[in-house]
Amino acid sequence: MRRVRVRLGRNGYSILIGSGLLAQTGHLLKELGFSDKLVIITDSSVKRLYGTALKQSLTRNGFKVTTLEVPEGEEQKALETAGKLYGELTDFYAERATPILALGGGVIGDLAGFVAATYLRGVPLIQLPTTLLAQVDSSIGGKVAVDHGQLKNKIGAFYQPRLVISDITTLKTLTAGEVSDGLAEAIKYGVIQDRELFAYLERNLYRIKSLDDKALETIVFRSAKIKAEVVEKDERDLGLRNILNYGHTVGHAIESVSDFRVGHGQAVAVGMLVAARISNRMGILESSEVDRLKAVIEKAGLLTESPGLDIEKLIQSMRHDKKIVLGKIRFVLPRTIGEVFVTDEVNPSLVKQVLKEQN
Ligand SMILES: NC(=O)c1ccc[n+]([C@@H]2O[C@H](COP(=O)([O-])OP(=O)(O)OC[C@H]3O[C@@H](n4cnc5c(N)ncnc54)[C@H](O)[C@@H]3O)[C@@H](O)[C@H]2O)c1
């Protein structure tokens, strides 16, 4: 088992990464000082796959467990679902000290995290991420939220978990598409901060895609470490955390203009390449680095071009992104693989030109 510590003073916590960890959850929670009752929030697919193993580990260690199940899908990240869960928590007499265990992908992590942050003004949250995206990204850093209509993550909080347990074995049941989605974020960490991680991905993508335990553990560990370091320096997203948005300015626009037909990981992949090409045209990033990025994105099963979207709509959508400051589009651009910088000074005509070439 590998451990990453997120150092945030009294809000600090550990991320545990390894195979077969769900079966050890009861013991791990006892070690943290929890006892008595707890609540699992999960979705129907994940419950079917991993609900019993988790519950057994908890009851074996003397916990009284209730499982609250929501249907799967982004639509569940809504105030209405949160409202139902508050009611069920009340029926179970959940108290301030009753932990909520979020067992699932990013949707469950965000939703159960939001409920944990707000029920009784906050109950302990344990993240048990089961998708690659959730293990490398969404379970770490304390951003919890629900959507509001079409507006993603509009209502939320910064609420750090008490523990994150990433059981690598759960990744074995993901589809190839879900693995690729998570890989987009791992590639992102390589470009923003860790040239070695990027090189590891270049060499080992075939092992990762065939769900090799060691390779998966390595990329989850290294990605978690980078996210933890960034979050430690900027818990509330006031500066440095911006670099985590590499590829996301264009990515969010592609998701939205395509009416979410292009998924998040796929859209971010195109966005990362657009940003790299912009940097290259500005004379900063070398062409050979752009080629390496394109090759990794392709090998990961991700898109390198958007599927013929309206360029004006993409630009409009970028202008509406919540990260926009004073009407300027903010870009995270790579200097080299392993280092990025944030700028509001990209010429809009260059953005249009690169988007056209990659569309
Ligand atoms: N909080 C953050 O910092 C942050 C960061 C990135 C993304 N997010 C959020 O994460 C969400 C996307 O997360 P996601 O991609 O994990 O999607 P998801 O949670 O919808 O999971 C994808 C699908 O995989 C299934 N699934 C989960 N684990 C599985 C497993 N081990 N085996 C088989 N199937 C499994 C789920 O039932 C679901 O159908 C979005 O809502 C996004 O906004 C949050």
Contact between 133 and 178 under an 8 Å Cβ cutoff? The reply is yes
- Beta pairing, strands 37-43 & 2-6: unpaired
From the list 254, 261, 258, 260, the residue with the least C-alpha distance to 275 is 254
Residue 204 to residue 288: CA distance in whole angstroms: 20
Residue whose pair of structure tokens reads 């009407």 in the numeric block: 327
Take residue 92 and report the two structure tokens written for it.
Answer: 């179970």
Ligand 1 pocket test, pick from 15, 76, 107 with the greatest ligand atom count within 8 Å of Cβ, gives 107
From the list 282, 252, 280, 268, the residue with the least C-alpha distance to 345 is 282
Take residue 338 and report the two structure tokens written for it.
Answer: 């392993």
151: which strand partners? 148
Q: Within a 10 A sphere around the Cβ of 21, how many other Cβ atoms?
A: 19
CA atoms within 13 A on the CB side of 130: 25
- Beta pairing, strands 100-104 & 2-6: unpaired
- For residue 237, the CA-to-ligand 1 centroid distance in Å is 22
Residue having the nearest C-alpha atom to atom 11 of ligand 1 = 106
- For residue 283, the CA-to-ligand 1 centroid distance in Å is 37
Ligand 1 pocket test, pick from 127, 131, 147, 160 with the greatest ligand atom count within 8 Å of Cβ, gives 131
Task: Write the pLDDT tens digit of every residue in 119-165.
Answer: 999 999 999 999 999 999 999 999 999 999 878 899 999 999 999 99
Task: Report the 3 state secondary structure along 114-142.
Answer: HHHHHHHHCCCEEEEECCHHHHHHHCCCC
Ligand 1 pocket test, pick from 75, 138, 174 with the greatest ligand atom count within 8 Å of Cβ, gives 138
From the list 350, 347, 318, 158, the residue with the least C-alpha distance to 245 is 318
Handedness of CA 255, 261, 264, 265 (dihedral sign): negative
Using alpha carbons, list the distances in angstroms from residue 291 to 121, 215, 269, 286, 295.
49, 24, 14, 9, 6
Predicted local distance difference test score (pLDDT) of residue 329? 84
From the list 245, 271, 267, 248, the residue with the least C-alpha distance to 258 is 267
Take residue 189 and report the two structure tokens written for it.
Answer: 């960490």
Q: Which residues line ligand 1 (CB under 6 A)?
A: 43, 45-46, 49, 72, 74, 77, 104-108, 110, 130-131, 133-134, 137-138, 141, 143, 152-153, 170, 173-174, 178, 181
Segments of the chain scoring below 70 in pLDDT: 321-327
Predicted local distance difference test score (pLDDT) of residue 260? 87
- For residue 133, the CA-to-ligand 1 centroid distance in Å is 7
Contact between 284 and 229 under an 8 Å Cβ cutoff? The reply is no
Task: Write the pLDDT tens digit of every residue in 162-189.
Answer: 999 999 999 999 999 999 999 999 999 9
Residue having the nearest C-alpha atom to atom 13 of ligand 1 = 106
Residue 100 to residue 118: CA distance in whole angstroms: 12
Ligand 1 pocket test, pick from 48, 110, 166, 241 with the greatest ligand atom count within 8 Å of Cβ, gives 110
From the list 57, 51, 50, 52, the residue with the least C-alpha distance to 31 is 57
Contact between 194 and 223 under an 8 Å Cβ cutoff? The reply is no
Residue 117 to residue 105: CA distance in whole angstroms: 18
- For residue 171, the CA-to-ligand 1 centroid distance in Å is 12
